[in-house]
Structure 1
Amino acid sequence: MSAGATSVGASTLEGFRASVRSWCRDHIPADWRRAQTDVPDDEFVRFQKSWFQELRGAGFAVPHWPEEWGGGMSVAEQVVLYQELAAHDAPRLVLPFVSIHHAASTLLAAGTDEQRNRHLPAILDGEIWCQGFSEPGAGSDMAALATSARKDGDVYIVNGQKLWASGALYADRCLLLARTDPDAPKRKGISYFLMDMRTPGVEVRPIRQATGEAHFCEIFLNDVAIPATNLVGPENEGWRVAQETLGAERGMTMLELTERLSHGGFRLLVDLCTRPGPDGTTPLDDTRVADRLTTLEIELTGLRALVTDFVAANRPGPADASIVKLYYSELLQRMTDFGTEIAGLAAHTDLRKPQSSGWESGAWMLDFIGSWEWTIPGGTSEIQRTIIGERGLGLPREPTGHR
């Protein structure tokens, strides 16, 4: 999936920016942070679905989709859109994130016409997806997954367990990887499925975190029957299809996340550093704080340029997606770590944050804890460096018998 390729003139872009600003002033709920703090799950789901439809009505919900499916914005327009949403402190689309990015990119790149026509309109109407990739014994090494799918007539019978499935408690569908050929090499015997979460045999258990949240879930699969028409791509080619899903996580999603970090998270960090203490001084009066803040701003400028070039490229390099993920995730970690340090002891006792915020909410300790979600899942930083070294720099491959 790629953004619209049409170039946009500067005057047109400024006109678009003005229209987005006007829309933000009229439509962003002024008290959403308070309203989304300490709310029950059903209220969070209701708010997220309502906010998605608000954005959809303006044409802002899926700007990265092709025009025929309700998108078609150029990269430059998307940058402006995400800048203004962040600058106006708009809620994030947390719940539909997998649906509009991972599921859509997979369907557009590898799905059948029937699958696209069935699921893309459903996603626009509010269908929620989760991702069933990781397992207890296959986290960063996704190719080690053991969940099995056995062909039985016109269905596949699936058994196994998935772990760290974000939002699975509220999901209608699941992007599922399962092993269809146990005798094939690790990456050769995996298939990719679209699973209805209401199918008999699917059990979802939330994982309660130390912070009280239950963002992640376990999914248990016991003789779950998935129609063969829900296979994405050829049987045993699921590893290749999964790269489309992961490419979305490190592609168009990064455009939004980077602008959010630059225009939302960094603004909150500057506000924190310029807040007077009891003695009237601010953290920014310390030259060491000023130096670190300046360094982060420079790094954010580099990240924005890197991501914009990456999503605009027709043929990204073999390691470009890994470079983007590594850069963003570790910068997010450094920023939230610095925010926690400046916020002091108060940040360590604040266990509340708006549910519809992102990884840069200003609840610094919780944001820092959440930042580890980016340096571990979807390939750890160590794995990303291996990919960069081998595929990007042409260094010798690590000796292993499992590739």
Structure 2
Amino acid sequence: MTDLGDFRAEVRTWCETHVPTDWRANQINASEAEFVAFQKAWFAELHAAGFAVPHWPARWGGGMPVDQQIVLYSELAAHDAPRLVLAFVGIHHAASTLLVAGTEEQRQRHLPAILDGEIWVQGFSEPEAGSDLASLRTTARRLDDTYVVNGQKIWASGGLHADWCLLLARTDPDAPKRRGIAYFLLDMTTPGIEVRPIRNAVGESHFCEIFLDDVVIPAVNLIGAENEGWQVAQATLGAERGMTMLELAERLGNAGFRWLVDACQPIEDALIADRLAQFEIEIAGLRGLCRDLVLRSETGATGAADASVVKLFYSELLQRMTDFGAEIGGLAAHTTLTKPASSGWESGSWMLDFIGSWEWTIPGGASEIQRTIIAERGLGLPREPSAAQ
């Protein structure tokens, strides 16, 4: 077994020679083609080093011990490595779904393809099914050995570039809403699919709408049983926590905090120094929570609300830090309206980062939803009365 100190030195040396030092400058105002090319090249670089999918089983190119994964993400963040924006859904959500509920044929088809650059999008949310995802209305009607799908998806990150989609659709309209849903793998080249970009508040079009008009999906692309897609979806949603949150926490604590300290220089105001000290304490707490969650996940010892605690803490800390950066940065922070395409929510372009931080306090279960989960599942408090009561 490799000593952790030796492994850290190995990763550090690799980062010093492979992380492009000019990527931020080159990714500002990058075209869509330049962004996609850069993302695929960076993923290939990580894959060649064995760093792209360390959380996958060894059979599929992963198998890195959890303590080494923690070191890896810490060093990548410390060296300001670009984020894997386009590959994110594929290496986390699609992979976890295939490994937990996919057939061997489905795994053989898609896991190697993901390593070769296959891009995935998540087709879950709908205009009237966001935090209450089980209210989705997209339908899938069985026809011989196929399903015919009609409906609309929204907030599909990276949909413009996706090759495949993780799709939830209702197969039994008369069943209780969590029991009549099926989970499909959808080829995005299938006739009847229209992808429309949504221009957001910072001028980006990362989010998309997906319209499905009599889209035919082979029955072999069904994941799990026909009406049990909700259970399968929990494996997908679970991939948003754990190691992905650890990576985000490390990035916030490295680049994000460095940019914040730089923005406050020279630190001559005791109130500013106090705010920075408080942020540093909170970052240390977030890192500790994430590492504890990851380590306990390996043994199945996580609580029902642990992931919600981490998501809530990270998203609201991110929002407070970027808000403070925009405040302390003054006019310059409010008029800097560009950021690197392959960065995260801690790029140092404070106003854009602050606006982008709302992506974390709303999607994936808004902060109010997370607090309800923590109260009911974590603390055992009585369920909140419904509007009907």
- The TM-score, its normalising length taken from structure 2, stands at 0.97
Instruction: Tell me the residue number matched to 2:10.
Output: 19
Secondary structure class of the residue paired with 2:344 = coil
Secondary structure class of the residue paired with 2:84 = coil
Instruction: Report percent identity of matched pairs.
Output: 72
Instruction: Tell me the residue number matched to 2:303.
Output: 317
1:156 is the counterpart of 2:147: yes
**Paired residues for 1:147-296 under 5 Å:** 147-274=138-265, 282=266, 284-296=267-279
**Paired residues for 1:136-151 under 5 Å:** 136-151=127-142
Secondary structure class of the residue paired with 2:280 = helix
Letter in 1 for 2:187: D
Question: Paired residue for 1:336, among 313, 317, 322?
Answer: 322
Letter in 2 for 1:301: A
Question: Paired residue for 2:342, among 349, 353, 356?
Answer: 356
Distance 1:322 1:210, change over 3 A: closer
Given that 2:202 and 2:355 are in contact with CA atoms closer than 8 Å, whether structure 1 keeps it comes out as no
Q: Which runs of 4+ in 1 moved over 2 A?
A: 398-402
Instruction: Tell me the residue number matched to 1:368.
Output: 354
Question: Paired residue for 1:397, among 362, 369, 383?
Answer: 383
Given that 1:75 and 1:308 are in contact with CA atoms closer than 8 Å, whether structure 2 keeps it comes out as no
1:304 is the counterpart of 2:290: no
Question: Paired residue for 1:121, among 112, 122, 138?
Answer: 112
Letter in 1 for 2:324: F
Given that 2:121 and 2:165 are in contact with CA atoms closer than 8 Å, whether structure 1 keeps it comes out as yes
**Paired residues for 1:18-167 under 5 Å:** 18-167=9-158
The one-character-per-residue Cα deviations of 1:344-384 (angstroms, maximum 9, x if unpaired) are 11111111100010111111111111111011111111011
The one-character-per-residue Cα deviations of 1:23-49 (angstroms, maximum 9, x if unpaired) are 111111121111111111011000000
Letter in 1 for 2:290: V
Distance between the aligned counterparts of 2:293 and 2:367, measured in 1?
19
Distance between the aligned counterparts of 2:317 and 2:24, measured in 1?
25
Unaligned 5+ residue runs, structure 1? 1-7, 275-281
Instruction: Tell me the residue number matched to 1:378.
Output: 364
Secondary structure class of the residue paired with 1:338 = helix
- The TM-score, its normalising length taken from structure 1, stands at 0.93
Distance between the aligned counterparts of 1:79 and 1:263, measured in 2?
14
Distance between the aligned counterparts of 1:400 and 1:229, measured in 2?
39
Distance between the aligned counterparts of 2:387 and 2:294, measured in 1?
34
Letter in 1 for 2:239: A
Given that 1:59 and 1:71 are in contact with CA atoms closer than 8 Å, whether structure 2 keeps it comes out as yes
Q: Could you tell me how far 1:107 is from its partner in structure 2?
A: 0.9
The one-character-per-residue Cα deviations of 1:374-396 (angstroms, maximum 9, x if unpaired) are 11111111011111111111111
Instruction: Tell me the residue number matched to 1:277.
Output: none
Distance between the aligned counterparts of 1:241 and 1:55, measured in 2?
29
Distance between the aligned counterparts of 1:237 and 1:324, measured in 2?
28
The one-character-per-residue Cα deviations of 1:301-330 (angstroms, maximum 9, x if unpaired) are 111111111111122111111111111111
The one-character-per-residue Cα deviations of 1:127-179 (angstroms, maximum 9, x if unpaired) are 00000111111111111110001111111110000001000000000111111
Letter in 1 for 2:293: F
Given that 1:251 and 1:321 are in contact with CA atoms closer than 8 Å, whether structure 2 keeps it comes out as yes
Corresponding residue pairs, total: 385
